[in-house]
Amino acid sequence: MMKWKKGKLPQPLTEEEIALFRQAVADVRPLHHDRVRLAPPRPWPEPRQTLLDEQQVLVDSLSDHISWADRMETGEELVFLRNGLANDVLKKLRRGHWVIQSEVDLHGHNSDGARQLLIQFINECRRFGLRCVRVIHGKGLGSKNREPVLKLKTANWLMQRDDVLAFCQARAADGGGGALIVLLKAAGRVV
């Protein structure tokens, strides 16, 4: 063993100091006790209400009260092109340049149900990296006063999504006035 004094190098203990230490601790016995067995750690709590609240915020963030007619409607056809994109994008979308990779059918749902379904659909498409999809909203022939309620609301909801780059009315073979072809932002693309 070594002893140390401030400002000096450690010095070895003398035989006398070692014997004195052993005499002082001669009666010491190790502590014997039962060790506490800890339960395995509990899983992290699942914030169910927070998740539900966040989901509701997404639903509520797409409102029905935004005027968009001057920005996207040309006659009866619904079209939309995100600011900063070339008009060629819309031309290509109208001509079927991109293959339709998936679709969702909204007609038969009320406004709230259709909005929720559309949000889930777009989120899933983004998750799987889909770029071009069809949203069938119907022509409104079965609604009150035969007005296309979901047609206008669907266009409104889509415009509010940052991940929607453009949309236009589908060609006759793809649903015509009862559907929209939607171009989604590519994964990782900044516009």
Q: How confident is the model at residue 158 (pLDDT cuts 50, 70, 90)?
A: very high
Output the pLDDT for position 164: 93
This prediction has a pTM of 0.59
Rounded distance between C-alpha atoms, residue 126 and residue 120, angstroms:
10
pLDDT at residue number 174? 84
Distance, CA of 130 to CA of 187 (rounded, Å): 9
Residue with structure tokens 């169910």?
Answer: 48
| The pLDDT value given to residue 76 | 58
Cβ atoms 149, 140 nearer than 8 A: yes
Alpha helices by DSSP H, the chain: 15-24, 48-61, 69-72, 87-94, 111-127, 149-159
Mean pLDDT computed over every residue of the chain: 80
- Give every strand in the sheet of 73-74, ordered side by side: 73-74, 77-81, 164-169, 179-184, 132-136, 102-105
Q: What is the pLDDT of residue 66?
A: 45
Higher pLDDT, 13 or 10: 13
Higher pLDDT, 162 or 190: 162
pLDDT tens string 24-59 = 999 988 777 777 778 888 888 888 888 887 777 766
In this model, does residue 111 exceed pLDDT 80?
Answer: yes
- May I ask the CATH class of domain 68-184? alpha beta
Query: Is residue 88 pLDDT above 50, yes or no?
Result: yes
- What whole-number percentage of the chain has pLDDT above 90? 32
Residues 68-86: tens digit of each pLDDT: 443 434 455 789 999 988 8
Of 5 and 91, the structure prediction assigns the larger pLDDT to 91
Which amino acid is present at 181?
Answer: I
Q: Which residue has the higher pLDDT, 161 or 144?
A: 161
- pLDDT at site 167: 95
Higher pLDDT, 61 or 52: 52
Nearest to 132 by CA among 67, 190, 183: 183
Reduce the DSSP state of residue 52 to 3 states and report it. helix
**Which string of DSSP letters, residue by residue, matches 114-160?**
HHHHHHHHHHHHHHTT--EEEEE---STTSGGG--HHHHHHHHHHHT
Residue 57 CA, distance from chain mean position: 12
What pLDDT score was predicted for residue 176?
85
The radius of gyration of the chain from alpha carbons, rounded to an integer in Å, stands at 35
Contact 182, 158 (CB under 8 A): yes
Structural domain spans, the chain: 68-184
